[in-house]
Amino acid sequence: MQVGTRPPVALAQTAITLSNLSGNRFLLGLGPSGPQVIDGLHGVPFARPLARMRETVEIVRQVVDGGKISCSGSEFDIPLPGGEAVPMRLSMRAEHPVPVHLAALSPAMLRLTGQVADGWLGTSFVPEGAAEACFTPLDGGLAAAGRAPAGFEVCQGAEVAFARDEEALAAMVAGRKRELAFSLGSMGSASTNFYNRAHIRQGWAEVAAEVRRRRQAGDGTVRQVWSPTRWCWPPRSSARRRWSGGACVSGATPG
C-alpha cells in the first residue's frame, strides 16, 4: 500500500484485519510511490517521503503491538497537540505478528528498510548491478540498527516465460520491451522517475537515459534500445543460471 493514501493507523487497522482473517498469512507491504501519483492522484504532498515512511512504520508497530499510539514527528502528530485528545489504543487486537516489508528503490529508502523493516520488496532489480546498488544500502541500514541479516527477508520476484517457437518468443520480447520502456520512460513525472534512477545505479545509465529521452519525445516503441540477450536467455543458458548468496550468477554468457 502507498503510505500517502491512508493515515498510518488506518493502514494498521487494515493490516490487523487481514492478518486475523487470513490466520497469519499476511504481511504488510508499504511503498512511497512518487509525486505523480501521490500529488497528482491523491492530492497529498509527496515531500519528505523518507520521514513519512519512517513515522508510518513506527505508528503501525505501535498499533499492532496494542499499545497507546503516540507520535510527535515531522509528518504526524498523534494525538494532535492543543486539543482534548490523549493517546489511545485500539480495541481490536492483532492475533499474529504483522511483518512489515518496504518497497524501496533509492539508496536512502533502502537503508531505512534495513533499519526499520522486516523485509524488502524488490523491483527494478538487475542481478549484475544489484550488489552495490541495492544490497550495500540495505546492509548499511541493518548494521546501523544492530540487526543481523539472517533475520531479514528479501522478496525479489523473477519472471519466467516460455514460447512455442521463435515467432512467439519475438512477440514476448517485444511486449516486455514495451513494458520496460514504459517503466523507465513514463513512470513518474518529467523530473522524477525512481525506476529509471534504479536502472542507472545498476549499470544501465545510457540505456535508461535513451529510453526516457525517446518516451518524452513521443516515441512509444523504443524498438532498438533493449538488447534481448541481456534480458532473455534461451533454455541452454537459462539452465546454467543459479542463485548464490542472494544474487543471480550466470554460468555462461547468454547467446
pLDDT tens-digit series, residues 86-120: 999 999 999 999 999 999 999 999 999 999 999 99
Residue 61 sits in the same domain as residue 120 = yes
Cα separation, 184 vs 187, in Å, equals 6
Q: Taking the chain, what is the end-to-end CA distance rounded to the nearest angstrom?
A: 39
- Cell readout for 34 is 512518487
Residue 242 lies in a domain: no
- Structural domain including 195 reads 166-233
Closest CA to 193 of 124, 132, 116: 124
Residue 188 sits in the same domain as residue 206 = yes
Residue 113 sits in the same domain as residue 176 = no
Q: Residues 171-216: pLDDT tens digits?
A: 888 888 888 888 888 887 777 888 889 988 988 888 888 888 888 7
Residue 238 lies in a domain: no
Residue 100 sits in the same domain as residue 143 = yes
Q: Residues 39-68: pLDDT tens digits?
A: 888 998 888 999 999 999 999 999 999 999
- pLDDT of 167 reads 92
Residue 125 sits in the same domain as residue 216 = no
Residue 14 sits in the same domain as residue 137 = yes
Domains held by the chain: number: 2
Helical ranges in the chain per DSSP H: 8-22, 35-38, 49-65, 107-116, 127-130, 136-144, 166-186, 194-201, 205-216, 228-231, 235-238
- pLDDT of 147 reads 96
Residue 138 sits in the same domain as residue 177 = no
